[in-house]
Amino acid sequence: MKKALVTGGSGGIGAAICRALARDGWFVTVGYHENEAAALRLAGEIGGQAVGADLRDERESAALMEAAGELDVLVNCAGVDWYGLLQDMDEADWRQLFGVNVDGMFRCCKLAIPAMVRAGQGCIINVASVLGLSGGACESAYSATKGAVISFTRALAKELGPSGIRVNCICPGCIDTPMLDCFTPEEKAELVERTTLGRLGRSEDVAELAAFLASGRASFITAQAITVDGGFLV
């Protein structure tokens, strides 16, 4: 059976990606950090398994990858945000963002690649953000991590292409998940107004692109940073 791992799979976009992959016939490992109950429920729902790990920790990341087995698809969806003025951000907050959003992605990719190279095929999907392309006020550090994800994706795609491994990046716009809870209703309304399609995105909007990129229908697509933003960046 085809195997996939989705980090950050216990809620929001990650959970929607897990469901979409399972629907398409993948055995999915739901990677999570703190939300064990939600991860276990989801794994039971889709016939997969839930494995917890703090991706900032090298040993825990390795244990997660070992439990997931030799992967056909890796989706790096785990991510955290920090909203506020950069002058109010401390060193620990900065390290937390890079530890999860960038370092965790690096560790999972590094550990997944050898089996993919041996198989002569594989797919890595990294979830970034439109802010990695455009930047966002009061989200300088978050934007920096997502810009790093995009650059990493493009470079790794060049590195792994000769081995038959595709690496792509999804850049969601304003998606209606708990990550937007830091915004007031008025601020959310402004985000909707800035979005060409006039609504917030759904987790399923992102998940369907991930499922497509994981499939054979996307066999000639690599090194791309694809926006799912309803026209937010237009």
Helix (H/G/I), strand (E/B), else coil: 144: helix
Tell me which residue of 50, 60, 99, 58 sits closest to 79, measured CA to CA.
Answer: 99
Residue (of 40, 37, 39, 41) closest to 8 by Cα position: 39
- Provide the 3-class DSSP secondary structure of residue 93: helix
**Residue 124 contacts residue 106 (beta carbons within 8 Å):** no
The catalytic position among 26, 32, 82, 142 is: 142
* 142 included as an active-site residue: yes
Asked if residue 31 lies in contact with residue 11, where contact means CB atoms within 8 angstroms, the answer is no
Q: Shortest CA distance to 171 belongs to which of 211, 130, 141, 224?
A: 130
Query: C-alpha distances in angstroms, 156 versus 95, 136, 173, 215?
Result: 23, 25, 23, 19
Classified as helix, coil or strand, 224 is coil
List residues with catalytic annotation: 142
